[in-house]
Amino acid sequence: MTTLPRRRFLAAAALLGAGVLEACNGHGPGRTIGAALPPPTTSTTTTLADIPPGPAADVLILQTASSIEHFASGVYTRLEGSQLITSPGVLDAVRFFADHHSAHGSLFGGATTRSGGVSYTLANATLSGPVEDRLQAMRTEADAVALAYGIEAVAAATYAFTAGQLSDPSLVGLMAGIGAVEGRHLAMLGTYLAGLSPAAGSATPPYPAAGFLGVAGAILPGVGL
Amino acid sequence: MASGTTTSTVPTDTVLAAFVQGVELAAVALYAQAAVVVASPAAVSVMATFSAHHREHALAFAELAGAEALKGPLPGVLEALQPSSLLVSERDGLTFLFDVESRLASTHQYLVGRFTTVPAVALACTTLPVEGQHAVVLGTLLSMPLGSMLPTVQGVDGYLSPEQFVSP
């Protein structure tokens, strides 16, 4: 079971937002790598601050994760059909990642049901709005890959942050394990965009320069549902 | 999978953090070991960066471990991660390091659900993805197929457990 100090911290984190975790992880300010999407708003009907730690909060976290996966899966499908991606290796990766996100959505949906909630099957609304303009403005393969990179960065940051907010320890591994794979997607896309050894300050590196994934771009639970 | 005797006591987060510190320091030593067969500029550059990452990871987990922090790599872990055959080519070296990174990622995945305090979970969750990213970059240098570098979900194959390597 989760210890009391952790639960107390989580309640505070829910009230204060992602910055709390960043400040407490001992690694300074946020270092989310290349999150190109606009920062999310917190204007939603239900957030984690409205719910005490426990199964209901876990459900909200899982539903938010599902919404990100459905969003990502949909965008990848659009990218695949955009005709902009012509390099065979990139096209293979896009298809591969689309399948992953679809599977991740199913995994989060199943976990939501097992936690007593209703599986969330829609794309995250907060992320979907701004990305439409990006999709319309894409002109090159690099544009498409950069968009995918931004989505993976948000997903990886969100799961790294919210894994620590889950009350059910058995869900922590699921969230962290899927987040780790989004990190691998980032590495692959970052390699296409910036190379294996990116220049200092690159906006789309395959790995964070300092060696730790940043969580500053995380979507807070409940946002966009 | 890891095997070995288990203890009856549940390790505290500081003990687990010290174990991870020892694993990360072992990784630093293994990168130095593999460096003797790697010469291409791209691989040398990547290896220097990743070795530095592991040093940073070790420092961060040592901070979390406090008084339990180790003075160096865990000898048992260093032995367990040794290559199964002599490294004679750059490909051997990179393949070996890919396996090391894969086992480190599995170890973090195994441990992330065992930590009980927020700082420990947070640190594990920001370290684990980077080990996987190292594996992807090394796999890319080796021209590995996507499926070999990118599991659907991070697993725990080949994980290292503290019960196997740390005396109670």
Q: What is the CATH number of the domain that holds B82?
A: 1.20.1260.10
Identify whether the C-beta of residue A152 lies closer than 8 Å to the C-beta of residue A207: no
**For the whole model, what pTM was predicted?**
0.87
* Pairwise CA distance, residues B16 & B69, whole Å: 10
Inside any domain, residue B39: yes
Contacts with B46 from chain A: Cβ below 8 Å: 196-197
DSSP letters spanning chain A: ---HHHHHHHHHHHHH-HHHHHHHTTS-S-------SPPPP---S--GGGS-TTHHHHHHHHHHHHHHHHHHHHHHHHHHTSS----HHHHHHHHHHHHHHHHHHHHHHHHHHHTTS----S--HHHHHHHHHHHHH--SHHHHHHHHHHHHHHHHHHHHHHGGG-SSHHHHHHHHHHHHHHHHHHHHHHHHHH-SSPPTT-SS-SS-TTSS---TTPPPTTTT-
Inside any domain, residue A176: yes
Contacts with A25 from chain B: Cβ below 8 Å: 119, 122-123, 126
The values of phi and psi at residue B160, to 5°, are -105, 130
Task: For A16-27, write each residue's pLDDT tens digit.
Answer: 233 222 323 333
Inside any domain, residue B73: yes
Inside any domain, residue B137: yes
Q: What is the CATH number of the domain that holds A128?
A: 1.20.1260.10
Interface test with chain A among B31, B110, B126, by most A beta carbons within 10 Å: B126
- Inter-chain residue contact B118 with A21, CB threshold 8 Å: yes
Interface test with chain B among A24, A196, A202, by most B beta carbons within 10 Å: A196
A-B C-beta contacts closer than 8 Å: 163
| Chain B residues 2-41 with CB within 8 Å of chain A | none
Contacts with A207 from chain B: Cβ below 8 Å: 49, 53, 130, 133-134, 137
Q: What is the mean pLDDT of the segment spanning B65-79?
A: 96
- Inter-chain residue contact A96 with B150, CB threshold 8 Å: yes
Inside any domain, residue A163: yes
* Pairwise CA distance, residues A157 & A216, whole Å: 7
Tokens (6 digits) for A52? 């005490």
- Inter-chain residue contact A13 with B118, CB threshold 8 Å: yes
Interface test with chain A among B31, B44, B125, by most A beta carbons within 10 Å: B125
pLDDT at B82 over 80: yes
Query: What 8-state DSSP symbol labels residue B11?
Result: P
Interface test with chain A among B31, B55, B118, by most A beta carbons within 10 Å: B118
Stretches in chain A below the pLDDT threshold 50: 1-44
Domain count, chain B: 1
Give the domain extent around A102: 4-194
3-state secondary structure at position B73:
coil
Inside any domain, residue A211: no
Inside any domain, residue B146: yes
- Inter-chain residue contact A212 with B113, CB threshold 8 Å: no
What pLDDT band is residue B168 in, cutting at 50, 70 and 90? low
Does ipTM surpass 0.85 in this model?
yes
Which residues lie below 8 Å from residue A58, measured CB to CB, with a gap of 6+?
Answer: A115, A166, A167, A168, A171
Give the domain extent around B39: 13-160
The shortest C-alpha distance from A124 to chain B (Å) reads 21
pLDDT at B9 over 80: no
Task: For B125-165, write each residue's pLDDT tens digit.
Answer: 999 999 999 999 999 999 999 999 999 999 999 999 999 98
pLDDT at B1 over 60: no
- Inter-chain residue contact B136 with A206, CB threshold 8 Å: yes
B113 touches chain A (CB under 8 A): yes
Inside any domain, residue B148: yes
The shortest C-alpha distance from A10 to chain B (Å) reads 8
Task: For B16-41, write each residue's pLDDT tens digit.
Answer: 999 999 999 999 999 999 999 999 99
Inside any domain, residue A68: yes
Task: For B49-63, write each residue's pLDDT tens digit.
Answer: 999 999 999 999 999
* Pairwise CA distance, residues A140 & B39, whole Å: 35
| Chain B residues 52-91 with CB within 8 Å of chain A | 52-54, 56-57, 60, 63-64
Inside any domain, residue B5: no
Inside any domain, residue A24: yes
B153 touches chain A (CB under 8 A): yes
* Pairwise CA distance, residues B150 & B154, whole Å: 8
Instruction: Give me the amino acid identity at A67.
Output: S
- Of A2, A13, A212, which is closest to B127 when you measure between CB atoms? A212
- Inter-chain residue contact A96 with B125, CB threshold 8 Å: no
Domain count, chain A: 1
